[in-house]
Structure 1
Amino acid sequence: MFSKKRVGSTLALVTGAALVLAGCAGGGSGAAPDAVPTFDPDEEVTLDLAFWGNDVRADLYNKVIAAFEEEYPNITVNSSFLGFPEYWEKRQTEAAGKNLPDVMATDMNYLRQYSENGLLLDLDPYLGNIIDTEPLSDNILGIGVVNDVTTGIPTSTNAWGMYTNPKLLEQLGVEDFEGGSWDDYQEWMAEVTDAGGGTIWGGTDYTGRIQSFEIQQRAKGEDLFTQEGEPNFTEEDLTAYWESGTDIRDGVVVPQQTLEEVYPKSGFDTALATSELTWDNFGSGYLGNLGADYTELSLVAPPVTEEGAKDLYLKASQLHSISANTDHPEAAATLVNFLINSPQSGEIFGTNRGIPASATALAAADLDPLSQQIADYEESIADRLGDAPPVPITGYGTLEEKFRQLGVELNFGTITVDEAVSQFFSEMDVVLNQ
């Protein structure tokens, strides 16, 4: 059981990184001190900090670092950033030489890989002393646990939800989706599509998203993968899921050819569809793509598979981790605490990294209307939030993309459900046994 008070030890790029990291120290996270660590405020320390992003995010990090160095004048922080693909290419090279930055931004698709290769520091001894856990819920702290060891602390969160377009719905004279089962949602989409007369549809084929399959499995008490990284669903489960979309693919959702014509935008942010299941932090991108005529969106919970089920969870938009080889673990933990928990961090970053995971950072953040809507949404689904699933297996990104591609083919009608299931399980076998 995870306890936030414990202080004892307790895509192609993904595949390529796994091959390199296989040669690193294996098994478990980096060693941590046996005693409860404390930080010497007089020790002169220099830390390297790395994160992904653009110039805007870099400017925000520089401001937070300046605030940190003002509070801890004996610690100097040297920061660097790259775009997401380049960032992980560089980390891969550093990992091979066991030379990762003292503090680094990590992503859920890489956390298990780096943790199990002994590259990340066990943070459990620092929780509750150097790293304040009071502002972080157990659900949030549990996100960064790999094999019962905390190796990442979320900076921000998002959750699976459903955006709807109230302006389009008003134009069609159809009420917004009021919640209900997946069958209720399909019936609502059909009503919208009928009112749209061949130019507006009720939604897109949500069965092409692995996350919608995941929450349906979680409603049965089953994550997609076990803690050991083994599949926790059967071919029959996936067959039933994809077959549940057969009726909506027949004229209810946006035709796949139409989606191909507007790509890389989706049916939702081109005003072709009135709803879309996705991560809640996609709202600002949707509004930007829809243009000035659209000033608001509705954000509601996904359809219910089983009443009372803990099917939803908070996902880390980003985490911070510490290198197992850092020479200054206490100072690094002090920096991580500041980046995640400090009011200065919340005030400066706002929602640039997502909705702040820390209550103290969130309280200090100036939320725009959409960000406040997302924060309110995550609070509204508290009764459906369960523990975070096990940290994704190495290669999960490859499987997620394969799932999406098969969904496209199903919507085109160029593949049967049985063929799609067979292909997915074949791909999963390759990923799990590489």
Structure 2
Amino acid sequence: MRADESIGRRKLLKAGGASLATVGLMAAGCGGGSGSGSGGTVTLRHAWWGGEPRAVAIKKCIALFEKKYPKIKIQPEFTDYAAFWEKFQTQAAGGNPPDVFQNAVGFLRKYDKRGVLMDLNSQIKAGNLSLDGFRNGVEANGQVDGKQLGIPVGANTMSLVIDNKIFEKAGIKPEFGWTWDEYFDALQHIKDTQKIAGDTGYFGIMYLYDLYLRQNGKAFFTDTGLGFTEDDLIPWWEDGYKRVKSGVVCDPKKVAQVAPKSALSAGLAASEFTWDNFSVRYAGEGHPNIGLAPIPTVDGKDTGQYLGSLMLSISNKTKYPKEAAQFIDFMVHDPEVGKIMGYDRGILPTDEQYEAYTPSDDQNKAIAAFEEACQKEGVLGKITPHPSGADVAEAAFLRIAGDMSQGKTKVNAAVKQFFNEAKAAFAA
């Protein structure tokens, strides 16, 4: 993922993902959207979300694929994050999803449960799709209950994006192993000396809270639900509310006013937690001096981090599983595809592509250096499993945390509301 869809994602989550879950999904229907062409050719529909730069790059990759496989044609379909999933749910309900589509860990169990996703192990065994050469075991991100439901097209990890100039003026240099106490002391020092909020709003980021839980031997999700209790969440949100009121964390109303521009780029705060490859967003928004800093820890060592990824999946309804698998194999292994895509969807997933692409701009160089540093420090673990309904739970976490931080809901009531909505999402 990168900045263009992160804006759409935030819009969708704030709008309340629970409404999306109400759309009934059925495995019934036939087709798969592919059609036979003349001369024995087949057509595959390939759908993804993202901005125009991603669309341009993927279309270049499609042209290369069609040159190598002249009897397979790819019909592109793309939109922003929110519109993609709204459309996809309708297509899946009608039994006509795209043959190959972009996916993410939060949706694997949800759509497997509804019979939408193909288990790719059959195509791997048939030799149409290879899992060889994936870096740091990231191929496991697409595995659920023994099935291979997605193939990663990139990898990223959580980071703290900082305003280098402000941190330097404040005399703060984050290093691996710093603690949460040291992080919050740094934010207070920035507020006192630089007269700016230290953070844009850490407490509503589900993936960051997951890291904090992992540092404490728990996790946000289990295979079937939440991996923590109300008593775990209460102090996390109480702390966030307290820091908003003290001015250490940016006023959420001001954050909303500058959206879709980030509060960090708008000069409202000095740091923000997000996925490392999202950091290209800030340069695009005109911020001149962005850096990537390590995640704070509880014990001075364990960050709880893991590599997340965007993936490609195949519909169970496709008429052309072999050709769809060959397309995915090409998209994740071909070196020229790596050169074209760069780090648009995260650090390239396979050795062939990673070695073929050398970033030329400072921000992508910084992303590569950050992930290499995380690997060297040995902080990267395995991703936490996500249950069916995880996307709705994530939406609820962000939305309810936002209401709580603005004083619309008391902390205890907000926590109960979140657990009730999450429970309903998992039961859907």
TM-score by length of 2: 0.84
Once the two structures are TM-superposed, the CA of residue 253 in structure 1 deviates from its matched residue by 2.1
Partner residue, 1:214: 210
Q: Does 1:315 align with 2:308?
A: yes
Q: Which runs of 5+ in 1 are unaligned?
A: 1-10, 27-41
CA contact (8 A) 2:295 2:303 kept: no
CA contact (8 A) 2:222 2:387 kept: no
Aligned to 1:78, the other structure's residue is in SS state: strand
Would the alpha carbon gap of residues 408 and 51 (structure 1) be closer, same or farther in structure 2, given more than 3 Å must change?
Answer: closer
Aligned to 2:317, the other structure's residue is in SS state: coil
Output the CA distance in 1 between the equivalents of 2:54 and 2:363. 19
Aligned to 2:153, the other structure's residue is in SS state: strand
**What CA deviation, in whole Å up to 9, does each residue of 1:62-93 have, x standing for no partner?**
22122112222332323332333333333223
Would the alpha carbon gap of residues 168 and 45 (structure 1) be closer, same or farther in structure 2, given more than 3 Å must change?
Answer: same
Q: Does 1:237 align with 2:235?
A: no
Aligned to 1:305, the other structure's residue is in SS state: coil
Output the CA distance in 1 between the equivalents of 2:98 and 2:408. 47
Aligned ranges for residues 233-382 of structure 1 at < 5 Å?
Answer: 233-245=228-240, 247-249=242-244, 250-291=246-287, 294=288, 296-309=289-302, 311-316=304-309, 318-367=310-359, 368-382=361-375
Once the two structures are TM-superposed, the CA of residue 233 in structure 1 deviates from its matched residue by 0.6
Would the alpha carbon gap of residues 76 and 109 (structure 1) be closer, same or farther in structure 2, given more than 3 Å must change?
Answer: same
Aligned ranges for residues 117-156 of structure 1 at < 5 Å?
Answer: 117-127=114-124, 129-137=127-135, 139-156=137-154
Would the alpha carbon gap of residues 289 and 333 (structure 1) be closer, same or farther in structure 2, given more than 3 Å must change?
Answer: same
Would the alpha carbon gap of residues 58 and 189 (structure 1) be closer, same or farther in structure 2, given more than 3 Å must change?
Answer: closer
Aligned to 2:365, the other structure's residue is in SS state: helix
**What CA deviation, in whole Å up to 9, does each residue of 1:172-231 have, x standing for no partner?**
44333335111110111111111023xx1222331222222111111233222211x222
**What CA deviation, in whole Å up to 9, does each residue of 1:6-30 have, x standing for no partner?**
xxxxx5786566555543269xxxx
Output the CA distance in 2 between the equivalents of 1:251 and 1:144. 41
Once the two structures are TM-superposed, the CA of residue 433 in structure 1 deviates from its matched residue by 3.0
Would the alpha carbon gap of residues 251 and 78 (structure 1) be closer, same or farther in structure 2, given more than 3 Å must change?
Answer: closer
Aligned to 1:158, the other structure's residue is in SS state: coil
Output the CA distance in 2 between the equivalents of 1:13 and 1:92. 16
Output the CA distance in 2 between the equivalents of 1:246 and 1:100. 42
CA contact (8 A) 1:168 1:271 kept: no
Partner residue, 1:38: none
CA contact (8 A) 1:177 1:188 kept: no
Aligned to 1:73, the other structure's residue is in SS state: coil
CA contact (8 A) 2:219 2:227 kept: yes
Would the alpha carbon gap of residues 21 and 136 (structure 1) be closer, same or farther in structure 2, given more than 3 Å must change?
Answer: farther
Partner residue, 1:84: 81
Would the alpha carbon gap of residues 84 and 409 (structure 1) be closer, same or farther in structure 2, given more than 3 Å must change?
Answer: closer
Output the CA distance in 2 between the equivalents of 1:83 and 1:413. 31
Output the CA distance in 2 between the equivalents of 1:190 and 1:22. 48
Output the CA distance in 2 between the equivalents of 1:201 and 1:89. 36
CA contact (8 A) 1:139 1:314 kept: no
Aligned ranges for residues 52-131 of structure 1 at < 5 Å?
Answer: 52-127=49-124, 129-131=127-129
Aligned to 1:273, the other structure's residue is in SS state: coil
Query: Equivalent of 2:394, from 380, 383, 400?
Result: 400
Q: Which runs of 5+ in 2 are unaligned?
A: 1-12, 30-38
Would the alpha carbon gap of residues 306 and 392 (structure 1) be closer, same or farther in structure 2, given more than 3 Å must change?
Answer: farther
Counterpart of 1:263 in structure 2: which amino acid?
A: A
CA contact (8 A) 1:189 1:202 kept: yes
Q: Does 1:203 align with 2:199?
A: yes
Once the two structures are TM-superposed, the CA of residue 144 in structure 1 deviates from its matched residue by 1.1
TM-score by length of 1: 0.83
CA contact (8 A) 1:164 1:176 kept: no
Output the CA distance in 2 between the equivalents of 1:302 and 1:326. 42
Partner residue, 2:10: none
**What CA deviation, in whole Å up to 9, does each residue of 1:128-182 have, x standing for no partner?**
7432222214631111122321111111122111011112234x44333335111
Larger radius of gyration: 1
Partner residue, 1:4: none
Once the two structures are TM-superposed, the CA of residue 283 in structure 1 deviates from its matched residue by 1.2
Could you say what the CA RMSD is over the residues aligned between the two structures, in angstroms? 2.7
**What CA deviation, in whole Å up to 9, does each residue of 1:260-310 have, x standing for no partner?**
44333333111222211111122121122244xx1x321011101234436
Aligned to 1:193, the other structure's residue is in SS state: helix
Output the CA distance in 1 between the equivalents of 2:20 and 2:257. 34
Output the CA distance in 2 between the equivalents of 1:320 and 1:344. 18
Aligned ranges for residues 151-190 of structure 1 at < 5 Å?
Answer: 151-170=149-168, 172-179=169-176, 180-190=178-188
Output the CA distance in 1 between the equivalents of 2:17 and 2:82. 10
